[in-house]
Chain A
Amino acid sequence: EDKVVQSPLSLVVHEGDTVTLNCSYEVTNFRSLLWYKQEKKAPTFLFMLTSSGIEKKSGRLSSILDKKELFSILNITATQTGDSAIYLCAVEGSNYKLTFGKGTLLTVNP
């Protein structure tokens, strides 16, 4: 059974801090690892990672995948209150199905 473990489960920081969110996984027939941000209902897509060691970057967010050690990290630099959300890690396995971790609840205080 595919499995995704995220840590920490929750995190409280101050504006301007840098955070690192972790995601480890076990999956048969790995296709990709995805990061989503969930603020209200719908997860919004952040990154899709398929290759080890290649950093994906979007503004203050970046992510990298290690397929040998089976983990990924999501970094957010210079955090803002608008970054407060649940960050979900998911792995895409057979037939494009996603298995999600429990998420990391990030709270950024002013």
Chain B
Amino acid sequence: SAVISQKPSRDICQRGTSLTIQCQVDSQVTMMFWYRQQPGQSLTLIATANQGSEATYESGFVIDKFPISRPNLTFSTLTVSNMSPEDSSIYLCSAILPQETQYFGPGTRLLVL
């Protein structure tokens, strides 16, 4: 397995602002993803973070709202832009290691007022 860390672990933000969440993996990974879990809901895939190129977004998610970077194999960021209360969720990054399954980071709990 791998150790996946996320920063911040939680934040309270004002509407209209943006927050960038960082995800760091302690070993090389083949793929990284970003998920959202709204209150009382299950996890929904936002996008696949591609190294050195634009992320691949799922239906209902767009780059202007959720810009993602992945400058190297082990690090990615997700920005939640122009936030509204509907963006209050847990945001989780995940990583697939070579020959292994998908592991999740500890999550970032976001509250937008």
Contacts and interface: CB of A to CB of B under 8 A. Distances in A.
Interface of A: 32, 34, 36, 40-45, 48, 88, 90, 92, 95-103
Contact of A96 (B96, B104, B106, B109): B96
A16 B44 CA distance: 33
B43 A41 contact: no
B42 interface: yes
Interface string B89-113: 0101010100001111111010000
Contacts, number: 53
Specify the main secondary structure of chain B where it touches its partner.
Answer: strand
Interface of B: 1, 31, 33, 35, 41-45, 48, 56, 58, 90, 92, 94, 96, 101-107, 109
Contacts of B41: 102
Contacts of B105: 42
A41 B92 contact: yes
24 contacts: A32-B101, A41-B90, A41-B92, A41-B109, A42-B92, A42-B106, A43-B92, A43-B104, A88-B43, A92-B102, A95-B56, A96-B96, A96-B102, A97-B33, A97-B48, A97-B58, A98-B33, A98-B35, A98-B43, A98-B45, A98-B94, A98-B102, A101-B42, A102-B42
Contacts of A48: 101
Nearest to B44: A100
Contacts of A90: 43
Contacts of A42: 92, 104-107
B57 to A, nearest CB: 12
A103 B42 contact: yes
